[in-house]
Amino acid sequence: MAAYRLALMGVGVIAKAQHFPAIAANPAFDLVALASRAPVSYQGLPQFGDLDALLRDGPEFDALVLCTPPQGRADLVRRALAAGKHVLMEKPPTPSVSEALTLAPAAEAAGRVLFATWHSRFNRGVAKAKELLAAETLVRLTVTWKEDVNRWHPGQEWVWHPGGFGVFDPTINAFSILTEIFPDRLTVAAADLDFPANRHTPIAARLTLADARSPKVDATVEVDWMQRGEQTWSIDVVTESGLALTLTHGGTKLWLGGQLVIDESDTEYPEIYTRFKTLLDEKRSEVDGSPLHLVADAFLIGKRHAVAPFDWDAA
Amino acid sequence: MAAYRLALMGVGVIAKAQHFPAIAANPAFDLVALASRAPVSYQGLPQFGDLDALLRDGPEFDALVLCTPPQGRADLVRRALAAGKHVLMEKPPTPSVSEALTLAPAAEAAGRVLFATWHSRFNRGVAKAKELLAAETLVRLTVTWKEDVNRWHPGQEWVWHPGGFGVFDPTINAFSILTEIFPDRLTVAAADLDFPANRHTPIAARLTLADARSPKVDATVEVDWMQRGEQTWSIDVVTESGLALTLTHGGTKLWLGGQLVIDESDTEYPEIYTRFKTLLDEKRSEVDGSPLHLVADAFLIGKRHAVAPFDWDAA
């Protein structure tokens, strides 16, 4: 059986923790090369300093897996497509809506498959929730996404720079779940954004959403990047028919009427590669920008509040 | 010859100044009813207070022309589509990216035609510029869009409210021209936004754009809402082959190498209705959100600066 040959670029935390094991576990894929600015070592694979060197001097491969930071990725995608490669992208695909928009037409023009992944969508609880809620009228939707930036991004100054998203870096995972479960219907109706006096991106936000299918829904999103102790990533839904559904732990646990019905961790990345094989077999791209659009809308229509300066915890 | 029967909702300045004469001049359309909150009178047409009353008590019609403010329009579009009507929308289609995204799928599901118009695109100089620049590599792109908010929006407080766009309300017209001439390639690389200390939206901005097709382009957008005296709406382009092209007066005048080659005012709205007839005949929707995406990106990645408070000119 001929497997798809992959090259992976951007060998950081997410590549090592998730992509390497998911690729190794999937017989449809062979990882044949790495590209990384810093020297790395993985199973004796040949390594190249950048995309040009990989394309020029590396082994033949079918698809490029991009785990580099989102800034500059659109350009890498275009160059890989031009070299005849399919592409899989870590989330978020790009730092801006307009860049995301250029990707699907570029893939179509090149006749290659482009897959912009949203890992949180691949939890099994998300698919089940989507199925259960497809025909439901929402009464209440409550998203609570509270984590500690010190723990997940220690010292990473870029998250506070213009374009760094701030607290919307984790929030976009919640949005990727919402837009999977409720496609083409959720919009940002209002937003309050808290900007630390010494930073350019928000540290907390409170949003009101609207639902095209359920005009009377009470839908709120509360996000905070200074949560100490237990971290919270939950989505609660109550419907007109009385269904009470809760996704917790970022979508890995699904509760129905208070009963835990799905409790599964870490299916995200294996499922991403299963989907990528399907897309490659069917020569079909999947580039959904809708989670990014909700982030952009929060900034576009948000009311800005100055709050206390942010300082990193002492290391 | 059977004409398409139109009902127009939102009888304000733009409806009276542009839509009424453009519809009257086009034999493909008959205006048969109006909907307006305030009493209006036009050619003895029947008038209704809102969309429900129009649909319930009004005459039969084929398409709804929406000239209401963008807030709340998505809901009106969905209700009109559900009633079997085609829809034409004034710009900008919606106040948010996510709302704009719900429109095309809604029209497709309803099997009706939806046309989100961008009037500045319909100047003849824009089509000519698009043709001349299609195969060109850009070296420099300079957009200057400077007007006086006191003159065009006297006392309209909503422009300063969250979601009111501020100076990006006029800037989106420039973006609608840019995205028509250069589809799928321009993105916002950086933005500086000046917020008056007493307002929630920017009064001026400086943007750097990137071009997927011309990575080395020097592309800037400078916009200001406090321009006194002459108002400036111009787009300058210099290409690698030496072409120097300028659109001034919002796209109504086209200059090539300093020579005025197209000088035509007011073809915008007649052309919009010509296009609408084509779309209706071909049962094809046109809903391009890309100008709105550039606005959202400016807010998403923009660096915020506090500037002097804004006060309206004394009336």
**Cβ proximity of A46 and A33 under 8 Å:** yes
Q: Is residue A282 part of a domain?
A: no
Q: For position B315, what pLDDT does the model report? A: 62
Which of A189, A74, A97 has the alpha carbon at shortest distance from B293? Answer: A97
**Domain contains B235:** yes
pLDDT > 80? residue A315? no
Nearest to A98 among B163, B186, B195 (CB): B186
- By the 10 Å C-beta count (0-12 exposed, 13-18 middle, 19+ buried), B86 is classed as buried
The distance of B293 to chain A (nearest Cα, Å) reads 6
The closest alpha carbon to B178, from B145, B143, B203, belongs to: B143
Q: Is the pLDDT of residue A71 over 60?
A: yes
Distance in angstroms (rounded) separating the CA atoms of residues A156 and A226: 15
A184 and chain B: CB distance < 8 Å anywhere? yes
In this prediction, residue A77 carries a pLDDT of 97
Task: Give how far B216 is from chain A: nearest CA, Å.
Answer: 12
Question: Is residue A98 domain-shared with residue A15, that is, in the same domain?
Answer: yes
- Do residues A252 and A193 lie in contact, with contact meaning Cβ atoms separated by under 8 Å? no
pLDDT of residue A265: 77
Examine the domain organization and report whether A133 and A105 are in the same domain: no
Contacts of A135 (CB under 8 A, 6+ apart): none
Range of the domain at A177: 121-263+296-307
Residue A250: pLDDT above 70? yes
Q: Which of A47-56, A153-162, B165-174, B286-295 has the lowest mean pLDDT?
A: A153-162
Cβ separation A187–B102 shorter than 8 A: yes
pLDDT at position B195: 96
Identify the domain boundary among B97, B116, B135. B116
Percent of chain A past pLDDT 70, that is, above it, reads 99
Residue A203 covered by a domain: yes
CB atoms within 10 A of CB B82: 13
A181 contact B CB<8A? no
Whether B109 and B136 map to the same domain: the answer is: no
User: At residue B280, what are phi and psi to the nearest 5 degrees?
Assistant: -65, -45
What's the pLDDT at B196? 97
Residues A134, A91 share a domain:
no
The two three-digit tokens of residue B274, written as one number: 């010509």
Contact A98 B294 (CB under 8 A): yes
Contacts of B184 in chain A (CB under 8 A): 101-102, 105-106
Average pLDDT over residues A284-306: 96
Q: A23 at the B interface (CB within 8 A)?
A: no
Residues B197 and B300 in one domain: yes
Does the pLDDT at position A145 exceed 90? yes
Instruction: Output the six-digit token pair for B48.
Output: 């209704």
Cβ contact A64:A34 at 8 Å: no
Indicate yes or no: CB of B297 within 8 angstroms of CB of A96.
yes
The amino acid occupying position B227 is Q
Confidence at A246, pLDDT banded by 50, 70, 90: very high
Answer whether residue B21 shows pLDDT above 80.
Answer: yes
Segment B260-310, tens digit of pLDDT: 999 987 789 999 999 999 999 999 999 999 999 999 999 999 999 999 999
pLDDT at B71 over 90: no
Helices (H), chain A: 13-14, 20-24, 51-57, 73-82, 97-110, 124-133, 149-152, 168-181, 268-282, 290-301
Q: CATH number of the domain that B18 lies in? A: 3.40.50.720
CB contact under 8 A, A97 and B212: no
- Across the interface, whether the CB atoms of B99 and A200 are under 8 A apart is answered no
Q: Cβ of A98 and B200 within 8 Å?
A: no
| Residue A176 and residue A44 in one domain | no
**The pLDDT of residue B205 is above 80:** yes
Q: Which two tokens stand for residue B157?
A: 């407080």
Do B87 and B152 lie in a common domain? Answer: no
DSSP conformation letters of A238-290: EETT--EEEEEGGGTEEEETTEEEEE--S-HHHHHHHHHHHHHHHT--B---H
- Residue B157: pLDDT over 60: yes
Does residue A1 register a pLDDT over 60?
Answer: no
The whole-number average pLDDT for the span A306-312 is 96
**B294–A296 C-beta distance less than 8 A:** no
Q: Is A208 on the interface with B (CB under 8 A)?
A: no
Q: Which residue of A has its CA nearest to B291?
A: A98
pLDDT > 60? residue A223: yes
Mutant choice from B94, B158, B165, B300 vs A, greatest count of A C-beta within 10 A: B300
Interface residue B80 vs chain A (CB under 8 A) = no
Do the domain assignments include residue B147?
Answer: yes
Q: For residue A184, report the phi and psi dihedrals to the nearest 5 degrees.
A: 60, 30
Pairwise CB contact (< 8 Å): B300 & A302: no
Show which of A67, A98, A116 is a domain's final residue.
A116
Q: pLDDT value at position A2?
A: 65
pLDDT of residue B265: 77
Based on the fold, state whether residues A239 and A144 are members of the same structural domain. Answer: yes
Q: Is the Cβ of B193 closer than 8 Å to some Cβ of chain A? A: no
Q: Residues 272-311, chain B: which have Cβ within 8 Å of A?
A: 290, 293-297, 299-304
- CB neighbours of A257 closer than 8 A, spacing ≥ 6? A243, A244
Average pLDDT over chain A, rounded to whole? 95
Q: Which of A75, A186, A216, A301 to mutate to test the interface with B (most CBs of B within 10 A)?
A: A301
Which of B101, B116, B131 is a domain's end point? B116
User: Shortest Cα distance from B303 to chain A (angstroms)?
Assistant: 5
* Cβ(B21)–Cβ(B269) below 8 Å: yes
- Residue B10's nearest CA partner among A47, B209, B2, B18 is B18
* Contact between residue A123 and residue A267 where contact means Cβ atoms under 8 Å apart: yes
Q: Mean pLDDT across the stretch B216-232?
A: 96
Report yes or no: B202 and B174 within 8 Å, Cβ to Cβ.
Answer: no
DSSP string, B257-272: TTEEEEE--S-HHHHH
Residue B206 banded pLDDT, cuts 50, 70, 90: very high
Measured CA to CA in angstroms, residue B220 lies from B114, B121, B205, B211, B251 at distances of 33, 20, 10, 11, 17
Apex CA B234: angle with CA B174 and CA B10, to 5°?
A: 40
Mean pLDDT of chain B: 95
B312 conformational bin, left if phi > 0, alpha if psi -120 to 50, beta if neither: beta
The three-class DSSP label of residue B53 is helix
Tell me the backbone φ, ψ of residue A36, rounded to 5 degrees.
-160, 140
Residue A206, beta-bridge partner list: A192, A222
Q: Is the confidence at residue A138, as pLDDT, over 90? A: yes
- A32 plus A127 within the same structural domain: no
Indicate the residue type of B207.
L
Q: What percent of chain A has pLDDT over 90?
A: 90
A91 is catalytic: yes
| Backbone region of residue B46 per phi and psi (left: phi > 0; alpha: psi in -120 to 50; beta: other values) | beta
In a domain, B287, yes or no: no
Q: Do B303 and A200 make contact, defined as CB atoms within 8 angstroms?
A: yes
To test the contact with chain A by mutation, choose from B71, B75, B98 the residue with the greatest count of A C-beta atoms within 10 A, namely B98
What pLDDT is attached to residue A264? 86
Residue ranges of A 156-175 with Cβ closer than 8 A to chain B: 162-163
| DSSP-derived pairing of the beta strands A114-116 and A86-89 | parallel
Report if residue A72 sits inside a domain. Answer: yes
What is the SS3 assignment for B123?
Answer: coil
Mean pLDDT of A247-273: 92
B96 & B141 share domain: no
Cα B233 vs. chain centroid, distance in angstroms? 14
Task: List, for residues B75-104, the tens digit of each pLDDT value.
Answer: 999 999 999 999 999 999 999 999 998 999
CATH of the domain at A206: 3.30.360.10
CA distances from residue B159 to B75, B122, B168, B207 in whole angstroms, order as listed: 21, 25, 10, 20
Question: Which pair of structure tokens corresponds to residue A10?
Answer: 């951007």
Do residue A106 and residue B186 have CB atoms under 8 angstroms apart? no
**Residue B132 and residue B108 share a domain:** no
Number of domains in chain A: 2
What's the whole-number mean pLDDT along residues A32-40? Answer: 94
A78 to each of A93, A102, A108, A110, B17, how far by Cα in Å?
13, 9, 11, 9, 45
